[in-house]
Amino acid sequence: MAARHIPREGETRIPSGCAIAGIMDRSGARHDGTDILKSIALMHDRSNGLGGGFAAYGIYPDYADLYAFHIMYESREARAATEAYLEHYYLCEKQERVPTEDHPAIKNPPDIWRYFMAPHPMRLAASGLDEAEYTMRHVFHINGAVDGAFVASSGKNMGVFKGVGYPEDIGEFYRIADYDAWAWTAHGRFPTNTPGWWGGAHPFTLLNWSIVHNGEISSYDANRRYVEQFGYDCELQTDTEVITYLFDLLARRHGLSQEMAAHIMAAPSWRAIDAMAPENAAFETALRTVYASALVNGPFSIILGSEEGLLALNDRLKLRALMAAEKGPVVYLASEQAAIQVVCPDAENVRSIEGGVPFVVQLDAVARRKQEEAAENRAVRDWPLEHEVGVQPRRRREA
């Protein structure tokens, strides 16, 4: 009888095979893409060549106040239609092809352009929207209505570089070592339920948000239906995009902190809530009731990028690995500890991210501003009533 063949690694479906990484300097100092490229390349075996990408923050200081659209085109007609549309709604200061380099492993890339733009003031005023909402709606229009055009990123002073290929090859194709950023994230994809295509590679973005994700979102249908009620279009053939839209909905539109948005998405179980003190249980019950459809189920680890910094989150049961470490003002995140040590052998405070607990890394300037705002809010709350304009001091009661 022939010996039974035992499948080796790589011969079976490995749904946890994605790789994610992040590097951020809290001081705001910018670093080129060399280290993030090394970090994600070390996890080559967690990918399969069907998707890789990078998000970078702080790379366009000369255009920091303008929206930087990175757009992929599959045809000249798509580019012509998109540029005519943008010319109607935006004032463009500069447009150019994104610099790329021929790479033997990258096949049939789209035509990739970037545009530095401000909303047309008259069109913006007539819309009755703020800049962010105005821009979000035009991004969704291009992605949904212009055949052969896809907006890969649309934030300010940030950009996304992604495509079909191993992440180290994608990084070389886009020449990311030529960019300087205060925060980088990266992704290597092992598709589980969705096809690999240039627009479907990670990171997924909207405005200044970017998400890289390892795992599967089993609650995708409920989450998708929820965000679509608020005007978000989920057309990118992947479960990950819905996480980006949830953060935008909860943090930008509903005004919650990023930490609270993450807490809602990885909320405590009902059993855990039942064991809490009554006042805490009441709060958590209200959150789960109001935002029931924003709860994200399934095994996942994510890294969120924004103008504030990075936020890492695991599902409550921590079914996907995610490590963190520090060295001075620089914070490192990766699916594997080795991916941190390859770029920082003497990293300190190496630990695993807790399940369901957001790990927040903010720019020092952002942290200081929030501390000052909190102090001002406390001062206003504690200010005696008689100091308010128009309120007479209270008289003491006679003995």
Instruction: Please give the positions annotated as active site.
Output: 18
Burial of 23 (0-12, 13-18, 19+ CB in 10 A): buried
Q: Give the Cα separation of 44 and 294 in Å (integer).
A: 32
pLDDT at 54: 98
Q: Which pLDDT value is given to residue 390?
A: 42
For 289, the enclosing helix (H) or strand (E) is helix 278-290
pLDDT at 4: 55
DSSP code string of 69-120: EEEEESSHHHHHHHHHHHHHHEEEEEEEEPP----TT--SPPEEEEEEEEE-
Q: Which helix (H) or strand (E) holds 381?
A: helix 364-382
As averages over each run of 10 residues, the pLDDT of the chain (399 residues) reads 50 64 98 98 89 96 98 98 98 98 94 98 98 97 95 98 96 98 93 71 95 91 95 83 95 96 95 95 95 94 97 93 96 97 97 95 95 83 53 41
What stretch of H or E contains 233?
A: none
CA distance 288 to 274: 13
The CATH code that applies to domain 19-59+157-379 is 3.60.20.10
CA atoms of 327 and 72, how far apart (whole Å): 37
* Residue among 128, 130, 154 at smallest CA distance from 141: 154
Domain boundaries, the chain: 19-59+157-379, 64-90+102-152
**Residue-level pLDDT at 192:** 58
Alpha-carbon torsion (19, 24, 29, 35), positive or negative: negative
